[in-house]
A and B are shown apart, each in its own frame.
Chain A
Amino acid sequence: MDREILISKWLDNDLNDEELEAFKALEDYDDLVKLNQGLQAFKIDDYNVSEELDTVLNTIKSSKKQSAHWFKPFMRVAAILAICFSLYYYTTTLDTSITTEFAQKTTIELPDASSVSLNAKSLLTFNKKDWKHNREVELNGEAFFKVAKGSSFKVKTKTGLVTVYGTQFNVKQWDNYFEVICYEGLVGVTYNSRETKLNPGDSFLIIDGKIIAKEKENRSEPSWLNNESTFKSAPYKTVIAEFERQYGVQVTLMNIDSEQLFTGSFAHDNIDVAIKAITLPLRVTYSKTNHTIILKRE
């Protein structure tokens, strides 16, 4: 029997009796046995499985408790903070909108010392964020601005852009009607990408897309701030539209030319006086029910 195979089998504890005899007869048998005995000295029997298991389980449990103690509440706090922060961020960057209803007027303080008076049925939108460097409002309706000194101030409307160099001006923008009147300082109006500069008393008027020249304005502020609407050579339909906004009523015209020009004014606090003011000069009669007024030419 081959020596190598014998030793291999001995190593694998796989010798039968016959092979064992042959193995013992090998010249290096004594050597191998001695080596084997020497190796036994390296046996380690200080590994106690159940003791080690206890240690591991204790480690696991204590680490689990710890994590339950500080990690979860920490996550909760973090989540709440995150929600608060995002809410705060969302609300501060949100646009601020102010609307007025029929027959309502309001004055708004903008983030700097500027103020805006809003006429009836108008909408003003602006963004508080970065107001110092980017003063811009959007307007739909009519408003009077008193602008504090600072960087350029812009009013965006559907029809045109108004850039402010000075301080006080009125912007009026309704369907097919766009009017800017400058009361103090200097105002630029950009319409169809052309800018027109307005000095105090100048006005800029567009009706149905046509620029209409107007004589100098000599008031110091728009009349509507004193609860009165004033018109100079204005188409009658714009007068009626303004009347509807101020009193929240429906006006129907019968046999009346809505394009004819009207000069005059009406007050915002007495509907009977006001209706006379806009009907008598044109010799028009009126009949009034709850929320509708019918104007008729005889």
Chain B
Amino acid sequence: MAKQLHENICEERMFSSIFNKHSKDLHNFLYYKFGELLNPKDKVQEAFVKLWENCAKISPDKAKSFVFTTANNLMLNEAAHQKVVLKHQQTKPKMYTNESPEFIMQESEYNDKLQKALANLTEAQRVAFMMNRVEGKRFKEIAALLEISTKAVEKRIYGALEKLRKDIKEL
């Protein structure tokens, strides 16, 4: 009974811990799925504010699903109004120090191709693939996060990889 009382999202401490646990995953999920233009950070905030407003109705174990669904819906509402051009921002600093101009050109060309190829993936493929490659998450973790089976995750990621390589070669 005491445990039940503790596990109330309306308590700020509980709410904060849920936020710490899921907000980054949620943000990255939205970012991979919809790109930078639709402001994933804002949607994460809105979703968590909604979670707070409904804190009495939602049990902590449902909180993750709630914010993911809510944020996704918020995104979809906006995506319906404007056709989104996916454009992932490249933020990584240079990895090579002594590079020839030719190499730099090749590199940037490759990145352009990669970006276009990523935009061509399906949303589901891109989300799973980016979580795996960029964040180094394992299949199991992704499966838990997206609430699908590990096998499905593996299929999506492998499919994405094949499609990417094909697209890059063609471009």
Q: Which A residues have a C-beta under 8 Å from some C-beta of B?
A: 4, 7-8, 11-14, 28, 31-32, 34-47, 49-50, 52-53, 55-57, 59-60, 63
Contact = CB atoms under 8 A, between A and B. Distances in A.
Given A8-B158, A40-B92, A47-B23, 18 more contacts: A12-B132, A12-B138, A12-B154, A13-B136, A13-B138, A28-B165, A34-B110, A35-B164, A39-B114, A39-B133, A40-B134, A42-B89, A43-B134, A52-B41, A52-B44, A52-B45, A53-B16, A55-B45
Residues of B contacting A: mostly: helix
Interface residues of B, number: 40
B68 interface: no
A62 B132 CA distance: 38
B118 interface: yes
A42 B19 contact: no
Contacts of A31: 165
B19 A56 contact: yes
Nearest to A40: B92
A102 to B, nearest CB: 65
Interface of B: 12, 16, 19-20, 23-24, 27-28, 31, 41, 44-45, 48-49, 52, 88-92, 95, 110-111, 114, 118, 130, 132-136, 138-139, 154, 157-158, 161, 164-165, 168
B87 to A, nearest CB: 11
Contacts of A13: 136, 138
B139 A60 contact: no
Contacts of B133: 11, 36, 39-40
Given A11-B158, A53-B20, A60-B49, A42 B28 contact: no
Contact of B27 (A34, A38, A47, A59): A47
A92 to B, nearest CB: 42
Contacts of A55: 45
A52 B46 CA distance: 11
A12 B139 contact: yes
Report which residue of A28, A39, A63 has the largest number of chain B beta carbons within 10 angstroms of its beta carbon. A39
Contacts of A34: 110
A38 B134 contact: no
Contacts of A7: 158, 161
A55 B136 CA distance: 28
A44 B31 contact: yes
A19 to B, nearest CB: 16
A32 B16 CA distance: 39
Given A38-B110, A39-B133, A49-B20, A8 B118 contact: no
A47 to B, nearest CB: 5
A128 to B, nearest CB: 49
A60 B88 CA distance: 30
Nearest to A42: B88
B118 A57 contact: no
Contacts of B138: 12-14
B39 to A, nearest CB: 12
A11 B49 contact: no
A42 B134 contact: yes
